[in-house]
Amino acid sequence: MTHLRVSEAAALVGVSDDTLRRWIKYDSIETSVDDGGRTVIAGEDLAEYAVRLAAPPEGGRVLRSARNHFVGIVTAVKIDAVVAQVDMQCGRLRVVSLMSSEAVRELGLKVGTVATAVVNATNVIVETTTGAKA
């Protein structure tokens, strides 16, 4: 399972380290300590929190237009025999990509994976720095 340091997790949800530390303290975000003594957050826990954080405000949804590269965290993966849907939370932006099931397996995409959504017109390409580990 992916574990992220506070600074990495804060960047993925689009806030400062100090803000995330306050959320950890007051919103009871689950943390642990790595071998180096640093506070870390499980990728799955951050993904769950990011989805709640990005919920539309009461009274309406905020619409945005965006392009290029968005680093984020995978929040859902739905796989059929041939096609898959990958949902990502990139700061306050939700990005959804439809791709082959084979691509999901090759990229090792699962909830909690840190990835980059590359947006070109209506196509979303997802990149990782590492693929599936055998």
pLDDT (mean) for 96-117: 93
Mean pLDDT computed over 21-28: 86
Q: How far is CA 61 from the centre of its chain?
A: 20
Question: Domain coordinates of the chain in residue numbers?
Answer: 3-53, 68-127
- The whole-angstrom separation of Cα 5 and Cα 74 is 17
Strands of 3-82 (E only): list them: 3-5, 32-33, 39-42, 68-79
Which CATH class name applies to 68-127?
mainly beta
The continuous run of DSSP H or E covering 125 comes out as strand 123-127
pLDDT of residue 86: 97
pTM: 0.59
Strand partners, 76: 87
Stated as kind and residue range, the H or E segment containing 44 is helix 43-53
Q: Which residues pair with 5 in a beta bridge?
A: 40
Q: Which fold has domain 3-53?
A: Multidrug-efflux Transporter Regulator; Chain: A; Domain 2 (1.10.1660)
What whole-number distance in Å separates Cα of residue 120 and Cα of residue 127?
Answer: 13
Which pLDDT score, from 0 to 100, does residue 55 have?
Answer: 66
75-106 pLDDT, tens per residue?
999 999 999 999 999 888 889 999 999 999 99
Average pLDDT over residues 57-82: 75
Mean pLDDT of 3-16: 90
Decide if pLDDT at 69 tops 80. Answer: no
